[in-house]
Amino acid sequence: MFTLDPAKPLSLANPGRAQHVLVVEDEDLIREMLTLALEEEGYAVETVADGRSALNLLCNADANSGRSFDLVILDLMLPQVNGLDLCRLLRRQGNAIPILILSARGSETDRVLGLEVGADDYLTKPFSTRELIARCRAVLRRQGLNHLPQPMVLQHRDIVLYVQECRVVVRQQEVNLSPKEFRLLELFMTYPRRVWSRENLLDRIWGADFIGDSKTVDVHIRWLREKLEIDPSRPEYIITVRGFGYRFG
């Protein structure tokens, strides 16, 4: 089951939206493997199995429709329009979308040809998903579209959280949080006003393997409120959203 992951790598072009990857690959297994690996990293993935569909999709991509893409992963050997031609066509149309070429062929000629027609990088099959993700990130980083920089300090009103120092200061007073409380607060402060269900919070902070129930979340929220709120019985920071869960701010 897939749930909406709030930690998706965000697009700089359109903050608040996950980076959108188009996978163009005619081999079902590889397409599925790529989709899983990318989704696991938080990318939003769309797939097509031939060059013509890819071309249609990319030419009709419209930033306002939410269907624009940040990266294309492009197999070379494709039915209808092959990867090299597709790449060449896009560049000729002035489309500068980052393209990562995949190919079973690993010869220097193909690599050079791929880059010559305007691809940004080239990966030879077989490859590890780790390498794939690293290449995707590198291509996106070079395009200046990579993840928003991770802030070192999160601040909301008079609460300051120092991410790397695992330290929290409330109204100029250092407070001691347990690791779970700290991670809960960090998550809240990273996504202010986002509503989290107890199940979401359990998954994110305790992990999917955690055996226990959502009461655990309520207990930690109560402890956090005691440390953060001026009046824990009338919370101003961690707000209960009836029927849904909690939000911060």
Please say which residue, 75 or 181, places its beta carbon nearer to Ca ion. Answer: 75
- Nearest approach in angstroms of CB 176 to Ca ion is 56
Task: Spell out where the chain has E strands.
Answer: 20-24, 44-48, 71-75, 99-103, 121-124, 153-156, 159-162, 167-170, 173-175, 195-196, 238-241, 245-248
- Nearest approach in angstroms of CB 87 to Ca ion is 14
Contact 130, 119 (CB under 8 A): no
C-beta nearest to Ca ion: residue: 77
- Range in contact with Ca ion (rule: CB under 5 A) among 7-15, 74-82, 178-186, 226-234: 74-82
- Nearest approach in angstroms of CB 56 to Ca ion is 18
Please say which residue, 28 or 40, places its beta carbon nearer to Ca ion. Answer: 28
Spatial neighbors of 241 by CB under 8 A, at least 6 apart, are: 195, 247
Within residues 8-27, the interface with Ca ion by CB under 5 A covers 26
Tokens 């269900």 locate to 197
- Nearest approach in angstroms of CB 188 to Ca ion is 45
Please say which residue, 45 or 140, places its beta carbon nearer to Ca ion. Answer: 45
Under DSSP, is residue 247 helix (H, G, I), strand (E, B) or coil?
Answer: strand
Please say which residue, 104 or 152, places its beta carbon nearer to Ca ion. Answer: 104
Contact 85, 77 (CB under 8 A): no
- Nearest approach in angstroms of CB 47 to Ca ion is 13
The residue type of 124 is: T
Helices (H) then strands (E): counts for the chain: 8, 12
Rounded to an integer, what distance in angstroms lies between the CA atom of residue 39 and that of residue 37? Answer: 6
Burial class (CB in 10 A: 0-12, 13-18, 19+), 239: middle
- Range in contact with Ca ion (rule: CB under 5 A) among 14-22, 70-78, 173-181, 221-229: 70-78
Q: Is 75 near Ca ion (CB under 5 A)?
A: yes
- Nearest approach in angstroms of CB 72 to Ca ion is 15
- Range in contact with Ca ion (rule: CB under 5 A) among 58-66, 72-80, 155-163, 216-224: 72-80
User: What is the binding site for Ca ion (CB under 5 A)?
Assistant: 26, 75, 77
